[in-house]
Structure 1
């Protein structure tokens, strides 16, 4: 059996004196899966994403991504982990307006120590593959929302991460642009990219993922796998 890309075991996280944001959550994601994390605001899905991304630490339990114990990393180790193991796509793009599209995409590789020429070549390949190579010298502000999200996806893939995390990737887009990004994620998964999408949008989950995990009150309430596999009972 293949080694999981993500393995959470008994993860809990509590903020202040309120109820736990996550309560003994366990989750396994294997290479090549496309998983949607669903749940209403306050359910714990953002906390789960932050723990996987190494932006937060659990109070209990373990978080392992591509063989790395993320919950044990310090600040420097977490930054290195995010550069090498995950790519992140956000709702509002988080592109740098004072850089060209190509330089935005190349930035993760440059931060990781790649030579300028090698980073530029990789960025050009990604922009062409994602259908926006003609915008390489433009600034993000000159692009449509859908095009900017494609730039964000290209940037997330720059260092060939084993895991792509997408946080409400179509939340700021109109219907047509949202459909374009949904199709892009589907195509990336078909090529073998492991993807976790955190979203409120059931239509997006159905369109670009084959497994849905629902979170309620900090617990994983349901884990629905492809139709060929029976739904996993959640205890």
Structure 2
């Protein structure tokens, strides 16, 4: 049987003296799956994303992503892990306004040690595939929200990561741009990319994922597979 891309076992995380943000949570995601993590604010879904990304560490339990024990990584190793294993797409894009679109996309590869020329060739390929190559020399501030999110997706794909994590990827977009990004995520998954999308938007979950995991009070309350809406 194919090894999972994500394997969380009995993971718990508590902050200060409050209730657990996650409690005894287990989750498996296999290669090529598209999974939506749903839940209200404060349910633990952002904590789950941060733990998978190595931005936080659990109090108990184990986290393995593409063969890496993420819960055992130090700060420097976690940064290397994110560069090689994770592509992240954020609600507010997190692009660097003083870099061109092409430079934003190429940056993860250059940080990973790729030569500048090679990184920019790879960035140009991605910008063309995502239909934003005409904006390569522009700065992010001149682009629409939907275009900036496409740039963010291109950047996430730069190092060919086995896993894309998207945190409310349509939350800052209007309906038309949100639908565009939803189709893009669906297309990426159709090509074999593993996706985990954290969202409160059930329509987004239905349109670009085929499995929904609902988190309530730090626990998995529901895990349902369904066909992606086309």
Instruction: Answer whether TM exceeds 0.5 for this pair.
Output: yes
Q: Which runs of 5+ in 1 are unaligned?
A: 228-235
Q: Give the Cα separation in 2 of the matches to 1:16 and 1:220.
A: 22
How far apart are residue 225 of structure 1 and its match? Answer: 1.3
Q: Give the Cα separation in 2 of the matches to 1:94 and 1:218.
A: 27
1:219 matched residue in structure 2: 219
How far apart are residue 149 of structure 1 and its match? Answer: 0.2
Q: Give the Cα separation in 1 of the matches to 2:5 and 2:199.
A: 20
Alignment TM-score, normalising by the size of structure 1: 0.96
Pairwise mapping of residues 74-113 of structure 1 onto structure 2 (< 5 A)? 74-113=74-113
CA-based RMSD of the aligned residues comes to 0.5
Q: Secondary structure at the match of 1:197?
A: strand
Q: Secondary structure at the match of 1:196?
A: strand
For the pair 1:199 / 2:199, whether they are aligned, the reply is yes
Q: Secondary structure at the match of 1:185?
A: helix
Pairwise mapping of residues 91-170 of structure 1 onto structure 2 (< 5 A)? 91-170=91-170
Post-superposition, which runs of at least 4 consecutive aligned residues in structure 1 deviate over 6 A? none
1:45 matched residue in structure 2: 45
Q: Give the Cα separation in 1 of the matches to 2:6 and 2:225.
A: 16
Q: Which runs of 5+ in 2 are unaligned?
A: none
Q: How many residues align?
A: 227
How far apart are residue 226 of structure 1 and its match? Answer: 2.8
1:185 matched residue in structure 2: 185
Q: Secondary structure at the match of 2:20?
A: coil
1:7 matched residue in structure 2: 7
Q: Secondary structure at the match of 1:207?
A: helix
Q: Give the Cα separation in 2 of the matches to 1:206 and 1:93.
A: 22
Pairwise mapping of residues 16-31 of structure 1 onto structure 2 (< 5 A)? 16-31=16-31
1:58 matched residue in structure 2: 58
Q: Give the Cα separation in 2 of the matches to 1:12 and 1:177.
A: 36
Q: Give the Cα separation in 1 of the matches to 2:176 and 2:84.
A: 32
How far apart are residue 190 of structure 1 and its match? Answer: 0.2
